[in-house]
């Protein structure tokens, strides 16, 4: 049986290199958890905190949720302590996104009318929406080079749709196909906005505080749910510098400005430990402005049947939070990725054609590089692949059914997977190909 050799310079892969994965810390945390529940089960009450090898509570163990809340509040300097009941544990951001769509939207009867997706977008996100019945209902909202988005086009789209099909209060009779009799009424939104607000995938941009507040106000006006993939926000390369503060989380802004009488809010922070510990753990969390929306997310049939996903692993991650190792793990990722990002910027400026643009690489996994318009981006990428350099061209990051032609010139580059030396060598080859293939 033959095995295909992996390309030595793969800029497409968006996951950590295996040498960075904190195996020693995971082993130690796992041993602590296992020793604890083999000797005593006194701290597992069978209700809010269940045994790690048993079914988990729907929201997840309260102890772990409390640790997550306290950790976030410390890092993001929350104005008030977060109620742990605003947190729903998941098995990663991908599951969290799919579950949010399933529990908070309805694709029939013109109830949830449109899914707005910031473009270019995460290349696998389209399937999460289409699987839930939203084929043909996805609309691209462009991200600008400065990291901001085209809010005016979003508002125009919303106003035009409302003129044709005005929204009305949603009742159980409106959603008969997904509202189980006897269960609490679902919270269904008329619109969804999917966004990576900090260090976006693929462009690497971050929304300003003003933009975040404006989006929340728009969401309240149009009954829109904002799903924030908050997966890169702690990978901030400025961490540790004087006066440093993390970008303000949209879910905190939603909570701090919640209108009187509103019990759900309009923002879900869809977060994961995949980028800051290891994706194989399959542990994430969702945070909402109020416990009502978190409980709604945890009330799907699969969770009610099987309990919180990845229950044992959530407790292991909880141990990393409890013993403080999580901060060291994140710090190491930031240190290495910062060095790789610097190597990437130097290589782009050194090897690629004059006039090439590179987005700021201030955190996260990705940078967005734009070749001058006279270069045939796709042809160059095809030739690079023959030489072992895999480039993630912009056509991979379109919103399904609403292309903005990102593939003509844009390329996403990952700093998470390759060493600084490999990044330099790969971009050097890319530059040589640009010279050989020439202009379109």
pTM of the predicted structure, to 2 decimals: 0.95
Question: Can you give the CATH number for the domain in which 132 is found?
Answer: 3.40.640.10
Q: How far apart are CA 363 and CA 63, in angstroms?
A: 30
4 within domain boundaries: no
Q: What is the DSSP string of 114-134?
A: EEEEEES--TTHHHHHHTTT-
Do 48 and 195 belong together in one domain? yes
pLDDT tens track, the chain, 440 positions = 444 456 799 999 999 999 999 999 999 999 999 887 655 445 677 789 998 999 999 999 999 999 999 999 999 999 999 999 999 999 999 999 999 999 999 999 999 999 999 999 999 999 999 999 999 999 999 999 999 999 999 999 999 999 999 999 998 889 988 888 888 788 999 999 999 999 999 999 999 999 999 999 999 999 999 999 999 999 999 998 888 999 999 999 999 999 999 999 999 999 999 999 999 999 999 999 999 999 999 999 999 899 999 999 999 999 999 999 999 999 999 999 999 999 999 999 999 999 999 998 999 999 999 999 999 999 999 999 999 999 999 999 999 999 999 999 999 999 999 999 999 999 999 999 999 986 65
Alpha carbon distance 421, 369 (integer Å): 19
pLDDT of residue 4: 47
Residue 47 lies in a domain: yes
- Whether residue 222 contacts residue 167, with contact meaning beta carbons closer than 8 Å, is answered with yes
Among 326, 350, 378, the domain boundary falls at 326
- Residue 297, CB-side half-sphere exposure with 13 Å CA sphere: 36
**Structural domain boundaries enclosing 37:** 23-326
Q: For the chain, what is the radius of gyration of the CA atoms?
A: 22
* Residue 3, in any domain of the structure: no
Do 86 and 163 sit in the same domain of this protein? yes
Residue 409 and residue 296 share a domain? no
DSSP annotation of 29 = H
pLDDT of residue 38: 56
235 and 121 fall within a common domain: yes
Of 276, 291, 326, at which residue does a domain stop?
Answer: 326
Phi/psi for 365 (5° steps) reads -105, -25
1 found inside a domain = no
Neighbours of 18 (CB within 10 A): 9
Are residues 340 and 318 part of one domain? no
Based on the domain organization, do 380 and 268 belong to the same domain? no
Q: 71-109: b or e for each residue (b if 16 or more CB lie within 10 Å)?
A: bbeebbebeeebbbbbbbbbbbbbbbbbbbbbbbbbbee
Give me the residues paired with residue 116 across strands. Answer: 139, 193
Domain count of the chain?
A: 2
Tell me whether the omega of the peptide bond preceding residue 202 falls within 30 degrees of 0, making it cis.
Answer: yes
């Amino acid at each position: 049986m033959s095995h295909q050799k992996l390309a030595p310079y793969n800029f497409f892969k968006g996951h950590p290199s295996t040498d960075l994965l904190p195996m020693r810390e995971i082993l130690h945390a796992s041993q602590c958890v296992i020793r604890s529940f083999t000797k005593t089960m006194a701290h597992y009450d069978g209700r809010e905190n269940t045994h790690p090898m048993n079914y988990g509570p729907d929201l997840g163990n309260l102890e772990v949720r409390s640790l997550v809340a306290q950790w976030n509040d410390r890092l993001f300097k929350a104005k008030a302590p977060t109620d742990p009941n605003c947190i729903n544990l998941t098995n990663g951001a991908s599951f969290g996104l799919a579950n949010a769509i399933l529990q908070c939207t309805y694709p029939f009867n013109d109830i949830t009318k449109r899914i707005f997706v910031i473009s270019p977008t995460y290349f696998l996100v389209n399937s999460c929406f289409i699987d839930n019945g939203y084929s043909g209902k996805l609309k691209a909202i462009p991200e600008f080079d400065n990291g901001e988005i085209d809010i005016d086009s979003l508002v125009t789209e919303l106003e035009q749709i409302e003129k044709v099909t005005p929204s009305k209060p949603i009742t159980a009779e409106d959603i008969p196909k997904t509202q189980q009799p006897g269960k609490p009424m679902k919270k269904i939104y008329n619109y969804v906005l999917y966004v990576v607000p900090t260090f976006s995938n693929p462009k690497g941009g971050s929304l300003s505080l003003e933009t975040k507040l404006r989006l929340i106000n728009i969401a309240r006006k149009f009954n829109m749910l904002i799903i924030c993939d908050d997966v890169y926000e702690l990978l901030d390369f400025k961490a540790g510098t004087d006066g440093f503060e993390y970008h303000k989380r949209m879910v905190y802004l939603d909570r701090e400005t919640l209108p009187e009488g509103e019990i759900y809010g309009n923002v879900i922070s869809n977060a994961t430990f995949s980028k800051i510990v290891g994706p194989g753990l399959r542990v994430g969390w969702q945070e909402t402005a109020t416990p009502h929306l978190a409980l709604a997310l945890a009330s799907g049939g699969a969770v009610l049947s099987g309990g919180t996903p990845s229950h044992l692993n959530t407790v292991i991650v909880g141990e990393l939070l409890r013993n403080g190792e999580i901060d060291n793990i994140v710090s190491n990722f930031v240190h290495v990725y910062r060095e790789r990002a610097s190597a990437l910027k130097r290589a782009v400026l050194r090897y690629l054609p004059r006039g090439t643009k590179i987005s700021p690489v201030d955190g996260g996994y990705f940078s967005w590089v734009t070749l001058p318009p006279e270069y045939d981006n796709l042809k160059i990428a095809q030739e690079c692949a023959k030489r072992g350099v895999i480039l993630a061209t912009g056509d991979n990051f379109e919103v399904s059914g609403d292309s903005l032609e990102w593939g003509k010139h844009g390329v996403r580059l990952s700093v998470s997977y390759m060493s600084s030396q490999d990044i330099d060598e790969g971009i050097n080859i890319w530059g040589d190909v640009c010279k050989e293939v020439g202009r379109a």
